[in-house]
Amino acid sequence: MANILNSPGRYVQGAGELSKLGKYAEGYGKKALILISQSGYKRIGGRVETGFAETGCSTVFDYFNGECCKTEINRLIGVMEKEGCDLVIGIGGGKILDTAKAVAYYRHTPVVICPTIASTDAPCSALSVIYTEKGVFEEYLFLPSNPDMVLMDTEVIAQSPVRLTVSGMGDALATYFEARAVLAKDALTCAGGHGTLAAHALAKLCFDTLMEEGVKAKLALEAGACTPAVEKIIEANTLLSGIGFESGGLAGAHAIHNGFTVLEECHHMYHGEKVAFGTIAQLVLEDMPADELEDIIGFCIDVGLPVTLKELGVEEVTKEKIMAVAEAACAETDTLHNMPFEVTPEKVYAAIMAADAYGNYFKGM
């Protein structure tokens, strides 16, 4: 099996880049379906429309219905067909972006991805995470190619709620540890092959950047400042983690995140927040040395990521609930089996409970 690295066709990051979207888009199509939330359109829709004036690409705006599910994907395919669109542009958060990628895949068109937040590593990947209409994880849709372009307007992203960028740090935190586990197992990555040296180097750089810049970036964002640390974290959350997870592989952390989607009380938590706790649970499964585990939990506490089940929204912890999470995480089609040892629901249950205990311990110190 070959070593494979996937990446977007083009990655652009900088302040004010969204106003240039029209110029970029006309290189990919003549009529773009722009998928955006209603609130997103109120904030930046005018800026986007102005950017398309006097370009060779016209636009059709459509509001996202809130869930990356098959019903929404099929609805938007119908809009594409009716309007004669030959390009999809997703502007917003992870589920909008995943939906845009899926629609472009089924319509065989280019796709341009424009995150307005840095809350996940989804933008750069050839992957859409499909949920049910009620928000329960259903499946991964692996796509034949990555987005044609990813555009990150750091001015817009820096104005988003700080919690969203911190959530992105939680998603990115898993990248190195999952890639390391996949390498030890010699398992296949999301790119359909084995990991490359480049992918593993980017995954490690992602982790190092989080440790060096994460707290600085959070404090800067809380002060309303877009500093070099913020720019580096946006890149780590998006590009480094995006390539790192896809071409390095997924393992325990994301599978445990998927397990938590079965608990309705966790649905209000962001993807990266659940992944961060899943990362701690994966490290417990691996029996990581205590001082290293303390460093990771300490980082999560410092930036505001959840380290206990209560912080995830599980007010009443029962064996039945946590076993349901563990059993879902161990689904045959999920990535927990990329860990380099046998994993059972009982082991995952124990790891989650221990991770919760460690989190409570370190928060109480």
**Which sequence positions are flagged as catalytic?**
171, 254, 257, 271
Query: Angle formed by the axes of helices 228-235 and 197-222, to 10°?
Result: 140
CA distance 141 to 105: 10
- The candidate with the shortest Cα–Cα distance to 236, out of 252, 259, 254, 216, is 216
Look at phi and psi of residue 227 and say left if phi exceeds 0, alpha if psi is from -120 to 50, else beta.
Answer: beta
Contacts of 361 (CB under 8 A, 6+ apart): none
Q: Which residue shows structure tokens 């987005």? A: 147
Q: Is 193 helix (H, G, I), strand (E, B) or coil?
A: coil
CA distance 246 to 127: 8
236 near 11, Cβ under 8 Å?
no
Q: Is 30 helix (H, G, I), strand (E, B) or coil?
A: coil
CA distance 98 to 85: 18
Contacts of 115 (CB under 8 A, 6+ apart): 92, 93, 94, 97, 123, 150, 152, 157, 238
* Strands 58-63 vs 87-92: parallel, antiparallel or unpaired: unpaired
196: DSSP letter: P
